[in-house]
Amino acid sequence: MTKRALVTGGAGFIGSHIADALLARGLQVVVLDDLSTGRRENVPAGAEFQQCDVRSADAARVVREGGFDVVLHQAAQIDVRKSVADPVHDASINILGALNLLEAVRTAARRPRFLFASTGGAIYGDFVTPPNLEDYAKDPDSPYGIAKLAVEHYLAYYGRVHGVEGAVLRYANVYGPRQDPHGEAGVVAIFCNRLLDGKPLTVFGDGTQTRDYVHVKDVAAANAAAATASLPAVGTLDVRAMNIGTGVETDVLTLAETLRAVSGRDAEIEFAPARPGEQLRSAVSIGKVQKLLGWKPERTLEAGLKETFDYFAAQRG
């Protein structure tokens, strides 16, 4: 029987790629998105679409009555700066929205697996030395990271007490086609658009801060694998958590130079004051996900950046 999957936030950057990957594997896919940041044109033609807020009774009904085998929860408030400015709003979406869905999973006649998109950067902070393992200490510096960690705890609770099958995918810095170049966008999307506009690339601080850049299609492949693979028995918080990244630290200056090279665009690099509270180093260990799912990233940074730049260039016509 064909498996049935629900992707919340499936009109967004990461969620739409996950929907693509699931359809390619032959799953039936339903996308749930309120289109507050997602785009209707991102929803694959082969997917059913439900427009509603993850905090709503309608979203709970879709989960409870949809007959799903797996729910991939990608919908979130993703702007760290907004979470600092308005932590109540952040928690209403990122904590209460997830709880609304988890309660629906718990009460569904056919309980789906619940896969939760967490963060592999903000959850660990600067108190550990990369590459970060899943069981490293977690001390988030933002309401966004705190909310993600809180939902991980809730999912562990629902597993132990209610028998809900679930797993957590802690993403490193995801980049690629369809990423929003506005607002709290990833640096790759911002740099691509500045290159296309002939503007300088702005680097905050000295440019030595590092991130683990993983292509969105590799992240989608990890989710597709987690949707159908055998998972460990329910246990403590970190038992079901898997880092999704490359394990490689890349500093911002190297990222800028690589993008200039693959794009063939020569742009100046300008420096701006460091942003207070910005994490200095971030990368995740991926040994666990390789063991559990047989997954590893397929794209090199150079190839992934070239594909991403070409996408943004094509969007300009």
* φ and ψ of 190, to 5 deg: -65, -45
pLDDT for 176 beyond 70:
yes
| CATH architecture observed for domain 4-173+213-244 | 3-Layer(aba) Sandwich (3.40)
Provide the pLDDT for residue 234.
Answer: 62
Give pairs for 31-34: CB < 8 Å, separation 24+. Answer: 31/6, 31/7, 32/6, 32/7, 32/8, 32/59, 32/62, 32/75, 33/8, 33/9, 33/75, 34/75
- pLDDT, tens digit (0-9, with 9 covering 90-100), for 109-120: 999 999 999 999
Provide the pLDDT for residue 280.
Answer: 87
Average pLDDT, the chain: 94
Q: Where are the domains of the chain?
A: 4-173+213-244, 176-212+247-284+299-315
The stretch 160-176 carries a mean pLDDT of 95
Provide the pLDDT for residue 122.
Answer: 84
pLDDT for 228 beyond 60:
yes
Provide the pLDDT for residue 309.
Answer: 97
Provide the pLDDT for residue 152.
Answer: 96
Pick the CATH number of 176-212+247-284+299-315 from 3.40.50.720, 1.10.510.10, 3.90.25.10, 3.40.50.970: 3.90.25.10
Provide the pLDDT for residue 125.
Answer: 80
Selection from 76-85, 125-134, 190-199, 235-244 with the highest mean pLDDT: 190-199
- pLDDT, tens digit (0-9, with 9 covering 90-100), for 190-201: 999 999 999 999
**Are 4-173+213-244 and 176-212+247-284+299-315 the same fold in CATH?**
no
Lowest-confidence segment of 6-20, 41-55, 97-111, 181-195 by average pLDDT: 181-195
Distances in whole angstroms, Cα of residue 124 to Cα of each of 38, 79, 121, 224, 310: 27, 17, 6, 25, 33
Which are the catalytic amino acids? 144
pLDDT for 184 beyond 60:
no
Lowest-confidence segment of 72-81, 174-183, 190-199, 265-274 by average pLDDT: 174-183
Provide the pLDDT for residue 183.
Answer: 54
